[in-house]
Each structure stands twice: as structure tokens, then as C-alpha cells.
Amino acid sequence: MDIEFVRSRFIKHFDGKTGNVYASPGRINLIGEHTDYNGGFVFPGAVDKGVIAEMRANDTEDTVMAYAIDLKDRVDFKLSDPAGPKASWARYIYGIALEMKKLGVPVKGFNIAFAGDVPLGAGMSSSAAMESCFACGLNDLFGDNKVSQWDMVLAGQATEHNYCGVNCGIMDQFASVHGKAGSLMRLDCRSGEFAYFPWKPEGYKLVLVNSCVKHELAVSPYNDRRLSCERVAAVINKHHPEVETLRDANMALLDEVKGEVSEEDYKRARYVIGEVDRVLAVCDALERGDYETVGQKMYETHYGLSKEYEVSCEELDFLNDIAKDCGVTGSRIMGGGFGGCTINLVANELYDNFVKVVKEKYAAKYGKEPIVIDVVIGDGSRKLC
Ligand code: GLA
């Protein structure tokens, strides 16, 4: 992504002045899907793709002039307007500004132009990249950088909850803010503790295959999954008050309440409880350099997401089958599901063949090639200039 390109648009669309430039990345997640809002573990890393925004205070009390460079769309709005802008991209700006105000940042009017190179609807968190980029900018422009990284993560998540209707967990915003080049991160979503894990798999590559099925319309099924988990946790809690989220449960406790929850909720909770354990198993395997186990857990996650949590689609299952047929070490749906990418752990010597076969077979079946993205683990939110 190109700072000069963003700057040229910022100058052209506003008053000719320049501002400060901020960047925040999208993310991948090695394992730990739909565990974040259950208090479990996740294992994401920031990528080298993200959002760049140029921002400048415009000396108005609360007028925001915003330009989405990729969409060629200009929206102006007031922070004091209780309804906020209608355009979905502008709601991220409106939402994060109000959330930063709640954190004590005296946000006034500003101009902003931004562009991004995270594929939209691909499960790579383009929206978290926006939220954390804008939060980083507002914190710098108006807040003397006093808001902590963790509070910016929470402000991004609150933007999704309060202005975009997605009851997401914390993983995406966390990864975007805290990312570090070359490292994945294991986050305990209950305590907020995290650790960096250098990611240098000897002999393997991480490759995303984007089905190009966009998951943008999946807000309500996502929120439904969360509700299923909360219902089951509440039932277990009646018998075992120490269980607050599914993170605190296990298969035996779940089986105790099998008759009190719907079959569907039971299946979904089974997936989550299994996934919390898989993240820890993957961490142990990584410490031993045991990539075969990492890959096997990834396939188990795919199975669970597809058959128990039911967030897959035909195209993603097809991509997973091709990976298996090609001898790929691990492959699974990444992110919320309902479309987007698979993440694949591929032995170097199989890489060329896998990329060729997956493109050919997918194109033969669905009439379009999937997009293959080599994962590069990049840095989190930062000021560029
Ligand atoms: C989306 C949400 C995250 C997380 C994932 C699934 O990306 O934003 O909080 O729940 O789905 O792991």
C-alpha cells in the first residue's frame, strides 16, 4: 500500500493541506475460531495488508469529512448527529470516534481519506483494520496517545457492537492493534494476557485460499452462534456456578446438560469446547516443532466448523477437500466463516502443485479462480508519518 497515493487523494479531496498518516493491518488466525467470545484462546497474527488513513483536525466542532478512496465515495457527517451516517464504511469512522470520546479523547471535527488492500469479506478482518487505524489516528490527533492499546482494541469491538450490529469477540481488533512482524500471538480472551510466538516454520508455508464467496451478509448467523454458546453456558452455570463461559466447561459438563439444551446448541457448544483444547494442543505442538500435529488440529477445526458449528459453505468444504487430496499438512476455514478464505499449512515441496491444482479444480467447478495469498506476518497499528 502506498502512502503517496493516499496523500494525493487527501490533498485533492480536501483543502490541499496534508495530515498525519496511520496504518493498521488485517489478520490471519492459525487456530482458535469462535472461541474469543467464549472466553477461550485464539492464535492470530497481523498481516502485511491493511488500511492506511490520512487524517487531520479541520477546526470544526464536530464535522467529519470522510473520503473512501477505493469506493470513490465522499460522506460528511456530524459526530453530534445521533443517527450517524448511513454508508457502512462511514459508520466505522463515526462509531470509533464516539467510542474514543467515551474513553475521554476530546475528538473534534476532522478530515480523513483512507484506502485498503485487505480483501473485503474474506475473513481477514478488513473492518478491524479500519477501526484500529482510525482509533490510532484519533488517539494521536486529539488524545496525546493516552488511550492504551488494549482500550483501543475494546473501542474497535464496541464499534462493531454498537454501530454495526456484529456481536464479535476481541480477536480481530486485538490482532490488528498488537501485531508484530514475524510473530503470531496467543491471546487468552478471558484475562487479556497474551504472548508472542515467533513464526518460522521450517519447511512449511502458510497460504490463504480465498473462495471469493463474500461473507458480508452473515451478521445474523454469526450473532446466532454467539447466542447458542451463551444459552448453553447459562444452563451449565445453573448446576456449576463456576462456569461463566464455555471456556470454563468441558465435554463431561456439557453432556450433563444434554437434555436441557437444543440439539443444535449442544453441537455448537461441543465444537467450541473442542476448539479451546485444540488451541492449547497447537501451542504445545509448536513448541516441539511438530507441524504434523498442528496440521491435524487444523483439519479437526475445519470439520467442527463445518459439521458442528455450521459456518462453512460448499465452496470452503471443496477447498478443504482439495487440500487434503494434495497432501497439505493442515487446512481449515479461517475467521467467522460463511465464505472467505481457508488457511493452509503447506510443506514447501507441495506448494507449487497445491496452488496449481486448487486453482484448476476450483475454476472448473465454480467458474472462477480462487485467490491465493502467501501469508506475511506484519506489524500492528502505527503512525507512518
Ligand atoms: C470474526 C469475529 C471474531 C471471531 C471470529 C471467529 O472474525 O470478528 O471476533 O469471533 O469471527 O473466530
Whether 169 lines ligand 1, by a CB cut-off of 6 Å, is yes
Residue 172 is a catalytic residue: yes
Strands 110-116 and 63-68: parallel
Residue of 171, 225, 230, 247 best suited for mutating to test ligand 1, as the one with most atoms within 8 Å of CB: 171
Vertex 300, ends 334 and 302: CA angle to 5°?
30
Question: Over the range 106-144, which residues count as b (16 or more CB within 10 Å of their CB) and which as e?
Answer: ebbbbbbbbbbbbbebbbbbbbbbbbbbbbbbbbbbbbe
pTM over 0.85: yes
CB distance 97 to 78 below 8 Å: no
> What's residue 218's pLDDT?
78
Q: Is 124 helix (H, G, I), strand (E, B) or coil?
A: coil
> What's residue 109's pLDDT?
98
Cell of 132: 484500529
Whether 131 lines ligand 1, by a CB cut-off of 6 Å, is no
Q: Does residue 198 carry a pLDDT above 70? A: yes
pLDDT tens digits, 78-121? 999 999 999 999 999 999 999 999 999 999 999 999 999 999 88
CB distance 326 to 355 below 8 Å: no
Per-residue pLDDT band for 165 (boundaries 50, 70, 90) equals very high
Q: Does residue 14 carry a pLDDT above 90? A: yes
pLDDT tens digits, 328-341? 999 999 999 999 99
Residue partners of 158: CB distance under 8 A and separation at least 6: 95, 99, 102
Whether 275 lines ligand 1, by a CB cut-off of 6 Å, is no
What's 241-267 look like in SS3? Answer: CCCCCHHHCCHHHHHHCHHHCCHHHHH
Whether 168 lines ligand 1, by a CB cut-off of 6 Å, is yes
Q: Compute the distance between CA of residue 179 and CA of residue 196 in angstroms, rounded to an integer.
A: 9
DSSP character for 36?
G
Higher pLDDT, 122 or 307: 307
> What's residue 217's pLDDT?
60
User: Please, where are the H alpha helices in the chain?
Assistant: 3-13, 88-102, 126-142, 149-159, 171-178, 219-239, 251-256, 263-288, 291-303, 314-325, 348-366
Active-site residue, selected from the candidate residues 151, 172, 265, 379:
172
Nearest to 45 by CA among 64, 58, 26, 60: 26
Mean pLDDT (the chain, rounded): 97
Residue partners of 348: CB distance under 8 A and separation at least 6: 203, 204, 205
> What's residue 215's pLDDT?
78
pLDDT tens digits, 251-271? 999 999 999 999 999 999 999
Q: Compute the distance between CA of residue 124 and CA of residue 47 in angstroms, rounded to an integer.
A: 9
pLDDT tens digits, 16-58? 999 999 999 999 999 999 999 999 999 999 999 999 999 999 9
Q: 145 CA to middle of ligand 1, Å?
A: 27
Q: Is 379 helix (H, G, I), strand (E, B) or coil?
A: coil
> What's residue 121's pLDDT?
87
Q: Compute the distance between CA of residue 288 and CA of residue 309 in angstroms, rounded to an integer.
A: 30
Q: Compute the distance between CA of residue 192 and CA of residue 188 in angstroms, rounded to an integer.
A: 5
> What's residue 1's pLDDT?
73
Q: Compute the distance between CA of residue 134 and CA of residue 50 in angstroms, rounded to an integer.
A: 12
Q: Compute the distance between CA of residue 308 and CA of residue 143 in angstroms, rounded to an integer.
A: 45
Q: 222 CA to middle of ligand 1, Å?
A: 9
Tell me the mean pLDDT in the region 140-163.
Answer: 98
165: left (phi over 0), alpha (psi -120 to 50) or beta: left
Cell of 339: 465464505
Give me the phi and psi of 339, to 5 degrees please.
Answer: 135, -170
